[in-house]
Amino acid sequence: MAAAVAKSLLRPSATSADISSLPPLSSSSSASCLSFRSCRSQTPFLGVHLADPVNPKIPALGIRSVGRGLRIEAAARPTILVAEKLGEAGLALLREFANVDCSYNLPPEELCAKISLCDALIVRSGTKVTREVFEASNGRLKVVGRAGVGIDNVDLQAATESGCLVVNAPTANTVAAAEHGIALLAAMARNVAQADASMKAGKWQRNKYVGVSLVGKTLAVMGFGKVGSEVARRAKGLGMHVIAHDPYAPADRARAVGVELVSFDEAIFTADILSLHMPLTPTTAKSFNDETFAKVKKGVRIINVARGGVIDEDALVRALDNGTVAQAALDVFTVEPPPKDSKLMMHENVIATPHLGASTVEAQEGVAVEIAEAVIGALKGELAATAVNAPMVPSEILSELSPYVILAEKLGRLAVQLVAGGSGIKGVKVVYTSARDPDDLDTRVLRAMVTKGIIEPISSVFINIVNADYTAKQRGLRISEERIFLDSSPEIPLDSIQIHLSHVESKFASALSDAGDITVEGRVKDGIPHLTLVGSFSVDASLEGNVILCRNVDQPGNIGRVGRILGEQNVNISFMSVGRTAPRKQAIMAIGVDEEPDKETLKKIGEIPTIEEFVFLKL
Ligand SMILES: NC(=O)C1=CN([C@@H]2O[C@H](COP(=O)(O)OP(=O)(O)OC[C@H]3O[C@@H](n4cnc5c(N)ncnc54)[C@H](O)[C@@H]3O)[C@@H](O)[C@H]2O)C=CC1
Ligand SMILES: O=C(O)C(=O)COP(=O)(O)O
């Protein structure tokens, strides 16, 4: 397989450029440490290429080894543009390997002008690496390194389309972000920022700035990942009662820290202080809104060191104005920097810092080294453990597996949505039924896509074949694979894929097999992925758009009742499939819908007397 990958490589490297042809440094650049040595020949790559998992035309990531008696091409030095301030230890590593251009805070047009002369770009959260940047690179840019966790400032789709690898540094700033959360917690409780400002204005206001104590208070950590668990550990040291909400965190990890995992509602009902540490995803976006604030304990305090977008900022201003939220401490904002007249930032009960969570000397040295090593490794053509968009499968294998790749991801996505909130997933078993000899069926990409389907809807992490196993392991997710041999033609790579999630509760009890696992199975029919089994029920539904699964007693009229409710709301049904144990016994209806039904419509479906349970799933 590795040899096959190596064969499928490489497009020609962009031509080299002389230092004199680089656009001038921006007047706003805070530093310039251009250190070119060999400027004539800059075709440095061993060849880094990306493959889109569903578009085999995009070549695979790999290494161009030397041809007959040829030298490895890495003799020439690549050019790396460092667009935001990076720790010296990382810069030193980069300079040993490449020509390094530190041009900080470039306006977008200057970044675009420079980028066609650079092989790698390193940024933090302040630089938007847009589609325009990839287009302007004319294919020369091979690696973008994000010196930190969140990659919401990099257009990953555009990066993948242009064959550019994106790597990040996910661990080195965890403690810094957690410490900043604790700093904001203490500063907020004791009005440190407001009291300091008052003293500097010549006042001595001892009565105005009476604070609240932390000991004995309940802190709800929302998002019990790397940063959240470090915050929890520290808050316990302050004598706080710590609970956490994270639908996907394993309970034993929480138990090890002495923290109880609770539902979202329990967390917001009971917390004196909420500390946000979840990623910004479509599910978490604006999850702290008017509806949420209506449920919180009056006078709750909120800390946000995650992403501004998880809070509806206008709703937070209203909640601060009416006293529902007593205070907020914010490091991150929907728009950064926020407008100077932002009501939220200027609110007297808000303390704010300019996205400083990762900004300690130690963390910045750590991320600088972490990202420098990842970028250098990628430029050498090595696999990066922290790659976020780099599938690595030869195009011929990809083209054969491509419908199964989609099937694997959709089954994973479907299975995770069947898990009841609060029951963390630990064990995933993927069963392939195939007539192929195991050596002729490379399941890495399928396993990666199952992992992607399971993790991506609940995380900010982007999964591909490079980082799937790494990410699953980091999250305590054990993915095992099993093959069932089918005595038929090996021309077809796979007959079916089954996913079993063990030791979890389901929000749709019918999805549980006799063994008690959430079980879903799919097949490819005429090139289209189909769902063929849910729990013990056989169904046949194409895995496209959205699906409503209903369990009902098999009797006339059910389809019509559901269809009428959907029709009244102008929700278009794309397909219908019924699977039943026996006539007039239990049945499952799978109904494909083009539009997402609103809550009221779903409620009406749930109220049909013969419908015993139902679930709405987004594919
Ligand atoms: N302010 C700053 O400078 C920094 C901010 N961050 C941000 O902090 C956040 C957390 O980072 P890490 O802990 O490194 O990430 P992580 O991926 O280790 O943890 C995120 C956790 O959130 C959980 N989660 C997902 N959806 C959820 C939901 N709907 N409700 C509750 N929990 C949910 C996940 O299961 C996971 O355990 C990210 O948004 C990251 O970008 C990270 C470092 C510095
Ligand atoms: O790592 C993250 O997600 C951060 O938010 C840190 O951002 P920064 O590198 O300080 O711009």
What is the amino acid identity at position 386? T
Assessment of whether the complete model's pTM goes beyond 0.80: no
Ligand 2: residue whose CA is nearest its atom 9: 124
Of the pLDDT bands very low, low, confident and very high (cuts 50, 70, 90), residue 514 is: confident
Of the pLDDT bands very low, low, confident and very high (cuts 50, 70, 90), residue 303 is: very high
Strand order in the sheet with 218-222: 260-261, 241-245, 218-222, 273-276, 300-304, 325-330, 350-352
pLDDT in tens, 35-80: 222 222 222 222 222 233 333 332 233 222 222 222 223 347 999 9
For a mutational test of ligand 1's pocket, the pick from 179, 221, 277, i.e. the residue with the most ligand atoms closer than 8 A to its C-beta, is 277
pLDDT in tens, 355-365: 999 999 999 99
Instruction: Say if ligand 1 is within 6 A of residue 303 CB.
Output: no
Cα–ligand 1 centroid distance for 8 (angstroms): 37
Of the pLDDT bands very low, low, confident and very high (cuts 50, 70, 90), residue 250 is: confident
Of the pLDDT bands very low, low, confident and very high (cuts 50, 70, 90), residue 396 is: low
Whole-number pLDDT of residue 154: 92
Ligand 1: residue whose CA is nearest its atom 17: 225
SS3 string, 297-341, reads CCCEEEEECCCHHHECHHHHHHHHHCCCEEEEEECCCCCCCCCCC
End-to-end CA separation in angstroms for the chain? 31
Give catalytic status of residue 307 as yes or no.
Answer: yes
Parallel, antiparallel or unpaired: strands 427-434 and 496-502: antiparallel
Give catalytic status of residue 206 as yes or no.
Answer: no
Q: Which of 64, 355, 475, 523 is catalytic?
A: 355
Q: What is the arithmetic mean of pLDDT over 403-421?
A: 92
d(CA 140, CA 41): 14
pLDDT in tens, 79-89: 999 999 999 99
Parallel, antiparallel or unpaired: strands 427-434 and 350-352: unpaired
Point out the least confidently predicted range of 100-104, 151-155, 229-233, 464-468: 464-468
Which value, to the nearest 10 degrees, does the dihedral of the CA atoms of residues 296, 301, 307, 310 take?
10
Q: What ligand 2 atom has the least distance to the C-alpha of 169?
A: 1
d(CA 84, CA 544): 41
Q: What is the arithmetic mean of pLDDT over 102-125?
A: 96
Of the pLDDT bands very low, low, confident and very high (cuts 50, 70, 90), residue 418 is: very high
577 pLDDT higher than 90: no
Whole-number pLDDT of residue 609: 87
Cα–ligand 2 centroid distance for 335 (angstroms): 14
Ligand 2: residue whose CA is nearest its atom 10: 358
d(CA 550, CA 573): 14
124 pLDDT higher than 60: yes
**Segments of 380-440 assigned E as strands:** 427-434
For a mutational test of ligand 1's pocket, the pick from 180, 416, 459, i.e. the residue with the most ligand atoms closer than 8 A to its C-beta, is 459
Q: What is the arithmetic mean of pLDDT over 122-135?
A: 95
Q: What ligand 2 atom has the least distance to the C-alpha of 146?
A: 9
Give catalytic status of residue 355 as yes or no.
Answer: yes
Residue 77's Cβ-count burial label (10 Å; 0-12, 13-18, 19+) is buried
Round the average pLDDT of the chain to a whole number and report it: 83
For a mutational test of ligand 1's pocket, the pick from 85, 124, 149, i.e. the residue with the most ligand atoms closer than 8 A to its C-beta, is 149
Q: Please name which of 585, 591, 594, 584 lies closest in space to residue 605, comparing C-alpha atoms.
A: 591
Instruction: Say if ligand 1 is within 6 A of residue 357 CB.
Output: yes
Cα–ligand 2 centroid distance for 359 (angstroms): 8
For a mutational test of ligand 1's pocket, the pick from 224, 264, 278, i.e. the residue with the most ligand atoms closer than 8 A to its C-beta, is 278
Residue 378 dihedral angles phi and psi, to the nearest 5°: -65, -40
Q: Please name which of 309, 312, 306 lies closest in space to residue 291, comparing C-alpha atoms.
A: 312
Whole-number pLDDT of residue 215: 98
452 pLDDT higher than 80: yes
Q: What ligand 1 atom has the least distance to the C-alpha of 150?
A: 41
Cα–ligand 1 centroid distance for 103 (angstroms): 30
CA distance to 5, 99, 143, 252, 493, per residue, from 2 (Å): 5, 30, 21, 38, 20
Q: Output Rg (C-alpha) for the chain, integer angstroms.
A: 27
Point out the least confidently predicted range of 35-39, 186-190, 223-227, 462-466: 35-39
Whole-number pLDDT of residue 34: 27
d(CA 343, CA 445): 48
pLDDT in tens, 527-548: 899 999 999 888 888 888 889 9
Q: Please name which of 101, 87, 75 lies closest in space to residue 147, comparing C-alpha atoms.
A: 87
Instruction: Say if ligand 1 is within 6 A of residue 274 CB.
Output: no
Highest mean pLDDT pick, 296-310, 467-481, 506-520: 296-310
Instruction: Say if ligand 1 is within 6 A of residue 177 CB.
Output: yes
Cα–ligand 2 centroid distance for 83 (angstroms): 14
**Higher pLDDT pick, 289 / 25:** 289
Ligand 2 pocket at CB < 6 A: 124-126, 147-150, 173, 355, 357-359
Instruction: Say if ligand 1 is within 6 A of residue 277 CB.
Output: yes
Q: What is the arithmetic mean of pLDDT over 196-223?
A: 98
For 282, residues 6+ apart whose C-beta sits below 8 A from its C-beta are none
**Higher pLDDT pick, 474 / 212:** 212
Instruction: Say if ligand 1 is within 6 A of residue 358 CB.
Output: yes
3-state secondary structure of 348: coil
Q: 20: which 2 tokens?
A: 């004199």
Q: What ligand 1 atom has the least distance to the C-alpha of 307?
A: 39
Q: Please name which of 153, 147, 83 lies closest in space to residue 367, comparing C-alpha atoms.
A: 147
The number of beta carbons lying within 10 Å of the beta carbon of residue 459 is 19
Q: What ligand 2 atom has the least distance to the C-alpha of 125?
A: 11
161 pLDDT higher than 90: no
d(CA 185, CA 179): 10
Q: Which of 307, 436, 475, 523 is catalytic?
A: 307
Cα–ligand 2 centroid distance for 305 (angstroms): 10
pLDDT in tens, 142-152: 899 999 998 88
